[in-house]
């Protein structure tokens, strides 16, 4: 949406790029598949373009915005709309319940902090998030993890680039393209399995073993370890770093009863 209110913060280096493409907005809301019973967080809501589209689904929407001028504009725009609550807060610290959806076009500079906040906590995974983020960031996250931490995220969540969002979808256009990053929970693990997964990933990313099967045997037994890897589509002879994190989650979970 192009800037209109004179009190609105101007484009600057803090990453204020408003989504102006209605096709991308529709794709974002469709990807999220919001139900009227959902509670949805729009983080970095700006003038409320995404908030309004989410509210039209009938869901309860929490619009989080740190800038007081945008927060004021949001309160004005959604005054009397019982579906929308405006929270003036920092998206890096505001509480986002696990059973709430997150659907947002976020400032690129906050991407790492936000994703870490959403995906780090152990226990029941959150219900899902659909985020417009910098394209390179989305690709790195959806690709093969390069660290123990990103492997932990990928083991517990499906991370997928749903579509590229060209820079011209925003006003003003950012320097680089963006992407719609789709985050969905995988099957939850027990607390014990999560602890094993943490220990297992520490070993994998510590780089001490040359074969995945060696690590799997250590955690799930001589026969079951490699069998669990194979059942998850991984080769026990492969290098441990070549094994997809969800296959390590299967090893940590152990044989199904
Ligand atoms: C990239 S713009 C997107 C605005 C809106 N989502 C849209 O697509 O039109 C980012 C918005 O996040 C806000 N913002 C920046 N840093 C923030 C933070 N740490 N917490 C909450 N909001 C923030 C900015 O004020 C701006 O309104």
> What digits encode the pLDDT tens for the residues 95-106?
999 999 999 999
Q: Any binding-site annotation on 19?
A: yes
Q: What is the mean pLDDT of residues 175-189?
A: 97
Query: Residue 118 Cα, ligand 1 centroid: separation in angstroms?
Result: 17
Q: Does residue 6 register a pLDDT over 50?
A: no
Question: Is residue 105 situated within a structural domain?
Answer: yes
Question: Is residue 137 situated within a structural domain?
Answer: yes
Residue identifier of the C-alpha nearest atom 13 of ligand 1: 44
Are 145 and 241 part of one and the same domain? no
pLDDT per residue as tens digits for the range 231-246: 999 999 999 999 999 9
Are 146 and 197 part of one and the same domain? no
Q: Any binding-site annotation on 209?
A: no
69 ligand 1 Cβ < 6 A? no
Are 197 and 149 part of one and the same domain? no
Are 101 and 196 part of one and the same domain? no
Are 137 and 174 part of one and the same domain? yes
Are 126 and 204 part of one and the same domain? no
Query: Residue 233 Cα, ligand 1 centroid: separation in angstroms?
Result: 40
Are 131 and 202 part of one and the same domain? no
Query: Residue 16 Cα, ligand 1 centroid: separation in angstroms?
Result: 6
pTM of this prediction? 0.93
Are 166 and 107 part of one and the same domain? yes
Question: Is residue 7 situated within a structural domain?
Answer: no
Question: Per-residue confidence at 206, pLDDT binned at 50, 70, 90?
Answer: very high
96 ligand 1 Cβ < 6 A? no
Percentage of residues of the chain with pLDDT beyond 70: 94
Looking at the structure of the chain, the number of domains it has is 2
24 ligand 1 Cβ < 6 A? no
Q: What is the mean pLDDT of residues 58-87?
A: 98
Q: What is the mean pLDDT of residues 75-91?
A: 98
Residue identifier of the C-alpha nearest atom 2 of ligand 1: 16
Confidence (pLDDT) at 5: 42
49 ligand 1 Cβ < 6 A? yes
Are 199 and 169 part of one and the same domain? no
Angle at 58 (CA atoms; ends 54, 60), nearest 5 degrees: 70
HEC per residue, 212-243: HHHHHHHHHCCCHHHHHHHHCCCCCCCCHHHC
Confidence (pLDDT) at 18: 95
Mean pLDDT of the chain: 93
| CB 205 within 8 Å of CB 176 | no
Decide which of 185, 220, 239 is a domain's last residue: 185
Expressed as residue numbers, the domain containing 97 is 18-185
Confidence (pLDDT) at 14: 54
Confidence (pLDDT) at 251: 98
Decide which of 153, 185, 217 is a domain's last residue: 185
| CB 149 within 8 Å of CB 175 | no
Are 73 and 198 part of one and the same domain? no
Q: Does residue 173 register a pLDDT over 50?
A: yes
Q: Does residue 4 register a pLDDT over 90?
A: no
How far, in Å, CA of 179 to CA of 159, rounded? 12
Confidence (pLDDT) at 207: 85
Are 161 and 40 part of one and the same domain? yes
Q: Does residue 116 register a pLDDT over 80?
A: yes
Are 172 and 215 part of one and the same domain? no
Q: What is the mean pLDDT of residues 200-226?
A: 94
pLDDT per residue as tens digits for the range 13-44: 457 899 999 999 999 999 999 999 999 999 99
Using most ligand atoms within 8 A of CB, pick from 5, 7, 44, 134 the residue to mutate for ligand 1.
44
Point out the ligand 1 atom lying closest to the alpha carbon of residue 19.
Answer: 8
Question: Per-residue confidence at 2, pLDDT binned at 50, 70, 90?
Answer: very low
Confidence (pLDDT) at 67: 97
Decide which of 138, 164, 185 is a domain's last residue: 185
The CA-atom distances, in angstroms, between 226 and each of 213, 230, 244 are 5, 6, 14
How far, in Å, CA of 126 to CA of 240, rounded? 27
Per residue in 182-208, is it b (16+ CB within 10 Å) or e — as a string?
A: bbebeeebeeebbebbeebbebbbeee
Point out the ligand 1 atom lying closest to the alpha carbon of residue 64.
Answer: 21
Q: Any binding-site annotation on 17?
A: yes
Question: Is residue 179 situated within a structural domain?
Answer: yes
Question: Is residue 32 situated within a structural domain?
Answer: yes
Q: Does residue 50 register a pLDDT over 70?
A: yes
174 ligand 1 Cβ < 6 A? no
Question: Is residue 31 situated within a structural domain?
Answer: yes
How far, in Å, CA of 46 to CA of 146, rounded? 33
């Amino acid at each position: 949406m192009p800037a209109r209110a004179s009190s609105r913060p101007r484009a600057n280096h803090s990453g204020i790029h408003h989504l102006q493409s209605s096709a991308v907005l529709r794709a974002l809301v469709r990807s999220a598949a919001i139900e009227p019973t959902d509670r949805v967080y729009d983080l970095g809501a700006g003038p409320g373009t995404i908030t309004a589209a989410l509210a039209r689904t009938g869901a309860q929407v929490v619009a989080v915005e740190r800038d007081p001028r945008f927060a004021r504009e949001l309160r004005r725009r959604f005054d009397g709309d019982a579906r929308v609550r405006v929270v003036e807060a920092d998206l890096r610290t505001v509480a986002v319940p696990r059973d709430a959806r997150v659907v947002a076009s976020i400032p690129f500079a906050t991407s790492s902090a936000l994703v870490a906040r959403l995906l780090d906590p152990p226990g029941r995974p959150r219900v899902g998030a659909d985020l417009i983020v910098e394209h390179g960031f989305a690709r790195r996250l959806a690709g093969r993890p390069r660290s123990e931490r990103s492997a932990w995220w990928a083991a517990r969540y499906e991370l997928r680039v749903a579509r590229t969002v060209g820079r011209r979808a925003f006003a003003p256009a950012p320097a680089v393209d963006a992407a719609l990053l789709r985050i969905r929970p995988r099957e939850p693990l027990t607390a014990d399995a999560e602890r094993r997964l943490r220990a297992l990933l520490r070993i994998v990313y510590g780089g001490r073993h040359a074969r995945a099967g060696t690590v799997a045997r250590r955690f799930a037994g001589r026969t079951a370890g490699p069998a669990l890897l194979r059942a998850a589509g991984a080769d026990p002879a492969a290098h441990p770093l070549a094994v997809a994190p969800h296959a390590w989650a299967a090893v940590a979970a152990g044989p199904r009863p």
